[in-house]
Structure 1
Amino acid sequence: MHLLLHLIVIVLAFISHEHRAMAQYVPPYTSIVVPVNKHTDAAKPLYSVQIMTSYVNMQYSHANFLIDIDAPFIWHDCILQWNIYPGSCPNNTLCTSPVSCEEYQCTDVRTTYSYENPSCPPVTNSSTLPGWGDCTCPVNVADPVTGSCGEALLNYDEFTVNTSIGKNVFTGLYGAYPNAACAPPSSFESFPANVTGVMALSSSPYALPAYLFQPLKKTLALCLPSKSSMPGVLFFGSGPYFLLPNSSVDVRSYLSYTTLLKHPDSFGYFIGINAIVIKQKSIGIPGNFSTKLSTLDPYTILRTDIYNRVLQIFSRYTVGIPKVSPIAPFGLCFRISTTTHAGFKFPDIDFNLNDGKKWTISMANSMKQITKDVTCLAFVDGGSTAEPAIVIGTYQYENNFLEFDLENSIFGFSSSLLLKQTSCSNFNFTLTDGN
């Protein structure tokens, strides 16, 4: 009996020691980091992240996923196999393991975390794969470019990303194992070239943030580039974050914060805007509306009554700049050549937030050069019944540093980094060993 008690004490001591060792372990990284690319070869500007998806012939394969902060789950170009063994997957193809229709993830995704699209037909369990013969789990997906409905098969996936302490990229890797979905190659015909997936970064439990665990803090930081030739950066973790040339300045010092709001019909992110201000002239936002943050809409969308007031006041304060006929989708354009652009000053547009903070949209994010002689106010009319009344689009994010703190439900924003003599394309992607 005494021997048994002695053994129990030894085992418990060993377990306690292991737990203390795990608790004391401090990893050499504070975040994961991936490049963000801008694409202009689709129907609208879009942005992608590059993820490592499989390890073949002693090296990782990479795939580009559109960034979607509203999507309920990840989906991409891959195929399912019940039994994956070396050599069983076709060349240049990503193979993953299927989720059975009998598993709880299948029912959960279909009933609670699916794409809401009225054009999608009901899914069934009729699909099977060679091998075991078990039923797979078809789920609906929505093309973010065309809005059309498609079908994918839920899977067990594996993604790999680099780690960082916010200054550069480590050779050390981090693995994530989400339930994603496989769609056929034809599903991505409307996507930009070499983009074959949608990366869900929403609040859904099937989006990527839900699969990123300790020691990473549940904070997503996004910095969209303004040029296709130079990548921006996405972090997930506690920070700090650094951009050249001020490599000793944590970008978080530039941020103001406001509350992230929830919307009952969306997994996306919302903030409260109570007024739009141009040159001290305030446009009140009537009602208790929340503003949606979008990574798929290229320009900020305003409900018609708000949009008309913005155009009216903006026109009043740009009376000295020659106007030209509007170029769709914009409603207010000016004759201003690229060579004389610096000689004109357009007013800032401030989003006044519910908690007293102010997000300033400077000229770099409010004016879009359309031709060498014409620039337009980069806001669009969403119609008289638009809901939400305001959707902030990606042109307004470019070279702004955005932080989604999902643990504390707060949103950080920098306004234009160009005013700080840096940009989203100034992260140092040089690979180091982290020592």
Structure 2
Amino acid sequence: MIFLLQLIVVVVAFISDHVHEAIAQFVPPYSSVVIPVHKHIDAAKPLYSVEIMTAYVNMQYMHAKFLIDIDAPFIWHDCILKWNTFQDGCPANTLCTYPVSCEEYQCTDVRTTYSYQNPSGCPPVNNGSTLPGWGYCTCPVTVVDPVTGSCGEALLDYDEFTVNTSNGRNVFTGLYGAYPNAACAPSSSFASFPANVSGVMALSSSPYAFPAYLYQPLKRIIALCLPSTLSSPGVLFYGNSSYYLLPQSNVDIRSLLSYTPLIKHPDSFGYFIGVNSILIKTRSIDLLGNTTTRLSTIDPYTTLRTDIYKWVVRRFSLVTKRIPSAPPIAPFGLCFSTFNNGSIKVPDIEFNMNDGKKWSISTANSIKQITEEVACLAFVDGGATSEPAIVIGTFQLEDNFLMFDLENSTFGFSSSLLRKKTSCSNFNFTLTESN
């Protein structure tokens, strides 16, 4: 009997060792997750969304589009709270999620430590009422509409999102699930949003933003490529992949990137870099104190503090004096006539970093065609007291490959991919089986 027990122990130990060894040696076929990025022009300003799989209903996933916001502290979207969907049921074509109670630590954290920093004019929130049949109060949190800047209220929840996996070249049929604390807001909260967009996808550095819920083997790296066209999507990766865009199927986009440090800002979960000068055709303006520059996926055009803006417009006017001018069209201060000229080409505007790296803004990202006869310099006067002094907007980000490395606190940027004969709309989203 003793011998038999010893034998069983040896066999179990042998199996256990080999199981742990197999787990340790397992390398998943994916190194990132991948999500399509859509451009929208049917709101007050151009905006961009990611398409996420949400609830699994009737043997298929529901899909929802969320605005990309790299400043927002947490995700919020159109859904309703149900503490027991089996008992109460969920209305057709509606996303139901489970509530976070006012007594749970997430409620306190999101309301205080990780909430929007000093939202202007937003009233304080109190504990919500209880749901039918549920013994706890709900957890209202403050949200800010990224389109209008207005305050709103949503209820914190337990969510489930699903995305495709990738190796940076292909989209796999294999899926990856994430389980964030998001918040449910009523459908009326999204009236200012583009059609069929019903949420905000927080991609900031907040511990309650989407990246905080994506775990190993994924590295904490966001790669974002905003499309300039409505017809084909751009792409968002999360993870440490090689990244490939057609037709250069063997060129890792990382080889095209320059890198500069990300700067922490005490009052924001967004992303900031340091710019010490702006160069236009051999003439530069030196900016005091390595000017803090914010990156935005909500602001449509780059805004410059008035003193910087005036210098850029003055210098740009000189280097484009051969191009006929046109009366300015708001919000722009410098415009050109394209009547009889067709498309125009202008010198690059270079943002120089304190580490010697430079981000070149080419014609495609500096000149906005307003009408058939008028094109304008797509930079805006942010006012004399604008803080930060520079905000780089989405028109300047389109067809630029951007990489936010949260592990090493660095920002990678490609400048215009059009010069490399590709674009953000050139990722191959065809589904393939993973090995």
TM range (shorter): over 0.9
Which residue is 2:355 aligned to? 355
Aligned to 1:427, what secondary structure does the other structure show? coil
Which residue is 2:33 aligned to? 32
Say what the alpha-carbon RMSD is for the aligned residues: 1.8
Q: CA deviation at 1:300?
A: 0.4
Which residue is 1:143 aligned to? 145
Give the counterpart letter for 2:83 in structure 1: W
| Pairing partner for 2:229 from 227, 230, 238 | 227
Q: CA deviation at 1:85?
A: 2.2
Q: Which moved more, 1:87-96 or 1:347-356?
A: 87-96
Q: CA deviation at 1:3?
A: 9.4
Which residue is 1:424 aligned to? 424
The answer to whether 1:312 aligns with 2:314 is yes
Aligned to 1:315, what secondary structure does the other structure show? helix
Aligned to 1:273, what secondary structure does the other structure show? strand
Deviations 1:236-273 (A, max 9, x none): 11111111111111111111111111100000111110
Give the counterpart letter for 2:408 in structure 1: N
Q: CA deviation at 1:23?
A: 2.2
Are the equivalent residues in 2 in contact too, given 1:399–1:416 (CA < 8 A)? Answer: yes
Give the counterpart letter for 1:52 in structure 2: M
Which residue is 1:129 aligned to? 131
Aligned to 1:147, what secondary structure does the other structure show? coil
Q: CA deviation at 1:388?
A: 0.2
Give the TM-score taking structure 2 as reference length. Answer: 0.96
Give the counterpart letter for 2:263 in structure 1: L
Give the counterpart letter for 2:53 in structure 1: M
Which residue is 2:165 aligned to? 163
Which residue is 1:294 aligned to? 296
> Please, which runs of 5 or more residues in structure 1 have no aligned partner?
none
Q: Which moved more, 1:84-93 or 1:325-334?
A: 84-93
Does the C-alpha gap of structure 1 residues 122 and 252 become closer, same or farther in structure 2, counting only changes over 3 Å? same
Aligned to 2:291, what secondary structure does the other structure show? coil
Q: CA deviation at 1:7?
A: 7.6
Which residue is 1:381 aligned to? 381
Q: CA deviation at 1:14?
A: 5.4
Q: CA deviation at 1:24?
A: 1.1
Q: Which moved more, 1:179-188 or 1:248-257?
A: 248-257
Are the equivalent residues in 2 in contact too, given 1:70–1:268 (CA < 8 A)? Answer: yes
Does the C-alpha gap of structure 1 residues 110 and 7 become closer, same or farther in structure 2, counting only changes over 3 Å? farther
Are the equivalent residues in 2 in contact too, given 1:366–1:378 (CA < 8 A)? Answer: yes
Are the equivalent residues in 2 in contact too, given 1:403–1:412 (CA < 8 A)? Answer: yes
Are the equivalent residues in 2 in contact too, given 1:304–1:382 (CA < 8 A)? Answer: yes
CA distance in 1, matches of 2:297, 2:216: 26
Which residue is 2:332 aligned to? 330
Give the counterpart letter for 2:405 in structure 1: D
How many residues are treated as equivalent by the alignment?
433
Which residue is 2:242 aligned to? 240
Q: CA deviation at 1:98?
A: 0.4
Does the C-alpha gap of structure 1 residues 102 and 86 become closer, same or farther in structure 2, counting only changes over 3 Å? closer
Q: CA deviation at 1:289?
A: 2.8
Deviations 1:187-211 (A, max 9, x none): 0000000000000000001000010
Q: CA deviation at 1:118?
A: 2.5
Which residue is 2:85 aligned to? 84
Deviations 1:288-325 (A, max 9, x none): 43110110000001000000000010001011111111
Are the equivalent residues in 2 in contact too, given 1:127–1:138 (CA < 8 A)? Answer: no
Aligned to 1:209, what secondary structure does the other structure show? helix
Are the equivalent residues in 1 in contact too, given 2:144–2:151 (CA < 8 A)? Answer: yes
Are the equivalent residues in 1 in contact too, given 2:290–2:354 (CA < 8 A)? Answer: no
Give the TM-score taking structure 1 as reference length. Answer: 0.96
CA distance in 2, matches of 1:216, 1:87: 37
CA distance in 1, matches of 2:5, 2:73: 52
The answer to whether 1:278 aligns with 2:280 is yes
